[in-house]
Structure 1
């Protein structure tokens, strides 16, 4: 099933949480923090402007991005979890 975002929405798949800390301690699933990084899977057409055109995105499909802790809305499609957010929720592109 495909998710097609509307207008200025972006579909992001969260990257997997780390299994260990920097010091080498293995974390149980309950202690893992949800990652604030993801990969862009789809973008909408852009925000509609008053003149009828659409604002272009600064990000593109395939970009790895950092986003805020409470960014977007979580949706489950099949057995996978996705985030649908706006470009304003994205803090940076990871190079």
Structure 2
């Protein structure tokens, strides 16, 4: 019985649709900060969700691990953006 459970867990790990295969990069972070600014900025007057064909989503799709992007943010950048919106980018794009 334990063998079947382990096999089942391995199978789910292999076919999970949200696997991230690569590390995020400073290039990706800078693209997200630049092109997703209208959505992630704390100072945005109007919150504009990115369109799937936008440059914002292009940078998000490089690697959808937005927690990795958040870890790359400097303290100044963290003060200017809403982390929850960065996390939401993976679902919006």
Specify the TM-score bucket, using the shorter chain as the normaliser. under 0.3
Query: Please, what TM-score do these two structures have when normalized by structure 2?
Result: 0.21
- Structure number with the higher helix fraction is 2
Name which one, 1 or 2, has greater alpha-carbon Rg.
2
Query: Please, what TM-score do these two structures have when normalized by structure 1?
Result: 0.20
- Structure number with the higher strand fraction is 1
